[in-house]
Amino acid sequence: MKKSGYACGPALFRKMDWDALKAVAEKADIAVAESGCSRGHFSDGHRLSAGTSPGALMSADLVILIGQYSMPNVGEYHFSPDAQYVRIDPDAGDIGRNMPIDLGIVSCEKAALEALAEAVPSMRREAWVAELAAERKKFEDENAEYYKIGLGHKDAVHPAVIAQQLSDFLYRGELAKEQTTVVAGGYGIARYTRRYLRAYRPGQICNGAYQYGAIGPDCGYAFGVSTAVQLGIGPQSAYRGAPIVGITGDAGFAYSGMELETMSKYRMPVVMIVYNNNAWGIQSGGKAAHMYLFQENLRYDKMAEALGARGEYVTRPEDFAPALKRSYQIAAKDRVSTVINCQAKREFWQRAQYPPGFLGKVEPGCMAYDH
């Protein structure tokens, strides 16, 4: 084993399975990166979390993939080409399904982790933990630079502004950082917001699109998630009744925006952020551009008002944070949903014109689109 230790990609286990995983990780200083449906079971605040340290994953020499939903395709994770892979899954047919595996273990995840906890030596890999921390800071510094660039655009709301100010509000303001559940939807906007979102407990980030890459379920999914929070179901029990935040794009809103009527009818306290860049996806040029363009500056906030919710129209970066705070307070006090319609530019996705442009995915952990 090299200096760097391991990286793990766990699946959606029962609580005791996550306890077993944590025991293994902490005994041998093994870094853990979660798949999309599992964010928060291993807190982003843990010293061994690699969810926001993507650069460190290239140093891992042994990768243990645990459970169905951590099975990546080749190239989906950014591990070293020299890394070796162990796969633990109760279904023998799933081992090696998408990529070559050096050692497959057919077992209940809990049983395998408990056996592993007994077998691994107790070790402290301070150099590995320091590398995780350094890469985490590098990632945060990169996000801060994007935010600085975004603030320079005064005539529209850059996605980095939404991402950073939402993150500040949720995790560094008056709210307990574990409180607010977020439906992490959208496509282009998600390339930014998912970099800044954090999960400190199970069920805090809900990924509606998941591995199928579905477009548009976000408002409908937000209603379902809000229902779970209002009723205090499962991991939401400690946060019963709290508002939630949903994120989508203008194309996504076109699919399920009518769910604002449902939210209003059942008085669900949802703050729905709509990234409005006047276009479908990232298409903004070429002969077929007209097929991807929407009418300029559509007022999704007014549509929300017509459906019984509130609307906020944000056209400048300095107006987003006040609109977010106001909407959250009204959701908490009066159980009224709000659409915050953030007016952007489709050209923001063009890297040559508006760097950093359309960002690539960062896997695993902080993005976790596909697994």
| Residue 236 within a domain | yes
Same domain, 198 and 98: no
pLDDT greater at residue 166 or residue 190:
166
pTM of the model: 0.92
Residue 93, domain CATH: 3.40.50.1220
3-state secondary structure of 355: coil
Lowest mean pLDDT among 4-13, 27-36, 105-114, 257-266: 4-13
**Does residue 129 share a domain with residue 46?**
yes
Residue among 18, 46, 51, 15 nearest 33 (CA): 51
- Are the beta carbons of 347 and 275 closer than 8 angstroms? no
**Residue 339 maps to which CATH number?**
3.40.50.970
Determine the Cα–Cα distance for residues 111 and 104; give it in Å rounded to an integer: 15
pLDDT at 189: 93
Residue 292, pLDDT score: 77
Same domain, 317 and 168: yes
Residues 293 and 261 in one domain: yes
| Residue 184 shares a structural domain with residue 126 | no
Do residues 337 and 219 share a domain? yes
Asked, for residue 105, whether it belongs to a domain, the answer is: yes
Give the range of the structural domain holding residue 113, as residue numbers without chain letter: 6-134
In this structure, what are the phi and psi dihedrals at residue 234, rounded to the nearest 5 degrees? 55, -125
- 354 assigned to some structural domain: no
Q: Of 86, 103, 134, which residue sits at a domain end? A: 134
**From start to end of the chain, where are the E strands?**
6-9, 31-32, 62-66, 84-89, 103-106, 182-184, 205-206, 244-249, 270-276, 310-314, 338-343
Q: Clarify whether residues 128 and 171 are in a common domain.
A: no
**Where residue 315 falls among pLDDT bands split at 50, 70, 90?**
very high
pLDDT at residue 258 tops 70:
yes
- Residues 122 and 161 both lie in one domain: no
Would you say residue 370 lies in a domain? Answer: no
Q: Are residues 114 and 69 in the same domain?
A: yes
How confident is residue 223, by pLDDT bands cut at 50, 70 and 90?
A: very high
> Into how many domains does the chain fold?
2
Do 321 and 175 share a domain, yes or no? yes
Closest CA to 70 of 57, 44, 88: 88
CA distance 234 to 20: 20
Residue 165 is assigned to a structural domain of this protein: yes
Single-letter amino acid, residue 148: K
pLDDT at 112: 94
